[in-house]
Structure 1
Amino acid sequence: MEKWDEAPRTIGRRRGPAGISICRRAYRRPDGPRGNPQVSPDRSRGSVKVRDVMAPNPFTLPPNASVAAAAIALAESKVGGCPVVDPSGRVIGMLEEQNILEALKTQHKELRMLMPPEISFGISFVEVVQTRESVTAFADVGDWPIERIMTKPVASVRPDDDVERAIQLMVTNRVHRLPVIEKGRLVGILTRTDILRGFFRTLEP
């Protein structure tokens, strides 16, 4: 069975919105590259493991990051959500675009008519938060810490879990991504897109 390096290597660090320190770490297989691994799942077992398709360098945010700073960070990083980790690196919540939109709608009834339950029909998150009504709402909730609106408790998977279990958790909890945790530490993120990409790989000759 393939093993991941125990110690992560920092592959980038920058100062994000409102002074948030954004750090990306990579967990690399001894024979593989950094970032998303290009793998060939063991088809003889008839299953795909989470470690085969997860992204091993997840973007994270601290719980004291403001809602406004988090919204900007998600948009700049081009991700729809991320784990929220405490100073020790423990995952304590998940922040999704939907959490931010729900906070805006809760504070301003006018936004409930503008925002559908799910961001769809070609409406992007960035376009929604740039509307005049949303800007007004951000004045009220933008300073909130994200721990106030994040999703918790967190559903998670382990690297050796079958992808089928991850799918069940996503459907049951109505989430689009799951943190991958091993021995209490965050080692990756698994999204619906990652799962689809992994299954398509198993169909390749």
Structure 2
Amino acid sequence: MIEKLKSIKIAEIMTRPVVCTSPDSSAYDILAKLNSTHFSGLPVVEDHVVMGIVSEKDILQLVLQGKNLKTTPVSEFMTRDVVTADQDCAILPLLKAFIDNQVLRLPVTHQGKLVGIVTRHDLLKLIIDSTPEFPVIS
């Protein structure tokens, strides 16, 4: 299985187009978008460049802080130090990035621009699909 994973590039498993948001969106807008898409987080993008990432956890922290979700812009609470992956990167370094950074999703870039997103779920599905002896439950 390791040999097969070495030959697969992130571009082959990433999701695109990416549901994202802008830095000036309100926390309430993000909450509505997360609810309607069933995603747990979104990249924050400006001119196709990843500026940050926002998650359900960030929204919950705002609620605990008593912030007004309708007037608090994403730029005030997003995570700014975002780990990204290049679309031409192989899967094994991507697995390491997920483990080392303890993230659920990684924006995928090409020449600095957002082109996709990959999640832990995408990686788990790839591992299952790449393992012929893995039992299929129907």
TM-score, structure 2 as length reference: 0.85
Structure with the greater alpha carbon radius of gyration: 1
Which residue among 52, 56, 69 is the counterpart of 2:12?
Answer: 52
Q: Percent identity of the aligned residues?
A: 27
Which residue among 89, 94, 106 is the counterpart of 2:53?
Answer: 94
Q: What stretches of structure 1 of length at least 5 have no aligned partner?
A: 1-41, 108-136
CA distance in 2, matches of 1:58, 1:175: 17
Which residue among 7, 30, 34 is the counterpart of 1:74?
Answer: 34
1:84 aligns with 2:44: yes
CA distance in 1, matches of 2:37, 2:62: 21
Q: State the Cα distance separating 1:100 from its structure 2 match.
A: 1.1
CA distance in 2, matches of 1:182, 1:104: 35
CA distance in 1, matches of 2:21, 2:115: 15
Q: What stretches of structure 2 of length at least 5 have no aligned partner?
A: 134-138
Q: State the Cα distance separating 1:197 from its structure 2 match.
A: 0.8
User: Greater RCO between the two (CA within 8 Å, min separation 6)?
Assistant: 2
Amino acid at match of 1:85: V
Q: Is the 8 A contact 2:6 2:91 kept in 1?
A: no
Instruction: Please provide the CA RMSD for this pair.
Output: 1.9
Amino acid at match of 1:89: H
Which residue among 89, 105, 119 is the counterpart of 1:191?
Answer: 119
Per-residue CA distance 1:55-104 (angstroms, 9 max, x = gap): 12110101100001110111101111111011x11110011111111222
1:166 aligns with 2:94: yes
Equivalent residue number for residue 104 of structure 1: 63
Q: How many residues align?
A: 131
CA distance in 2, matches of 1:46, 1:163: 6
Equivalent residue number for residue 10 of structure 1: none
Q: State the Cα distance separating 1:169 from its structure 2 match.
A: 1.8
Q: Is the 8 A contact 2:6 2:92 kept in 1?
A: no
